[in-house]
Structure 1
Amino acid sequence: MLKVLIVIMLFISIFSLFRALMAMTKDDKQQQMTRNLGRRVLFSALTLVLIVLALSMGWIEPNPRPY
């Protein structure tokens, strides 16, 4: 369940990034692009905090051998 939540948050972050790209190419209001980029940064930071919290609480385990 936690991994699904992390993936959903990353997809929301990517979606916000593409919405900001569309706002930038259409020359719409600058505020809309800034809001979308702010959401992207917020969801990326929340995802990182969630991953670090889950690792410290033992909810997820890192890969013991990364290669």
Structure 2
Amino acid sequence: MLIKLIIIALLLFIIINLARAGLVMVRQPQPEVRMSRYLGRRVMYSAIVLLIILVAQALGLIDANPRPY
């Protein structure tokens, strides 16, 4: 259950960073705030979520769906 909560929290961080990057893109350009910082964090969190899912499945902490339909 803890693994699922961690994954959900990381997915929320991904959405938050996407929204922050969108706000920076819409606002006037400011040299101290770069959109690439938020997009880079989003990619990093996505990679972490993928690694957590793969490791948790390999260790048997989460089970794959046997029948996808």
Letter in 2 for 1:60: I
How does 1:1-67 map onto structure 2 within 5 Å? 1-29=2-30, 31-67=33-69
The alignment's TM-score, normalised by the length of structure 2, stands at 0.90
Whole-Å separation in 2 of the counterparts to 1:10 and 1:46: 10
Q: Distance in 2 between matches of 1:36 and 1:20?
A: 5
Runs (5+) with no aligned partner, structure 2: none
Deviation at 1:28, TM superposition (A): 2.6
The structure where helix makes up a greater share of residues is 1
Q: How many pairs does the alignment contain?
A: 67
Q: Taking every aligned residue pair, what percent have the same amino acid on both sides?
A: 40
- The Cα of 1:52 is off from its aligned counterpart by 0.5
Give every structure 1 segment of 4 or more consecutive aligned residues whose post-TM-superposition deviation is greater than 4 Å. Answer: none
Q: Letter of the aligned partner of 1:47 in structure 2?
A: V
TM-score, normalising length from structure 1?
A: 0.92
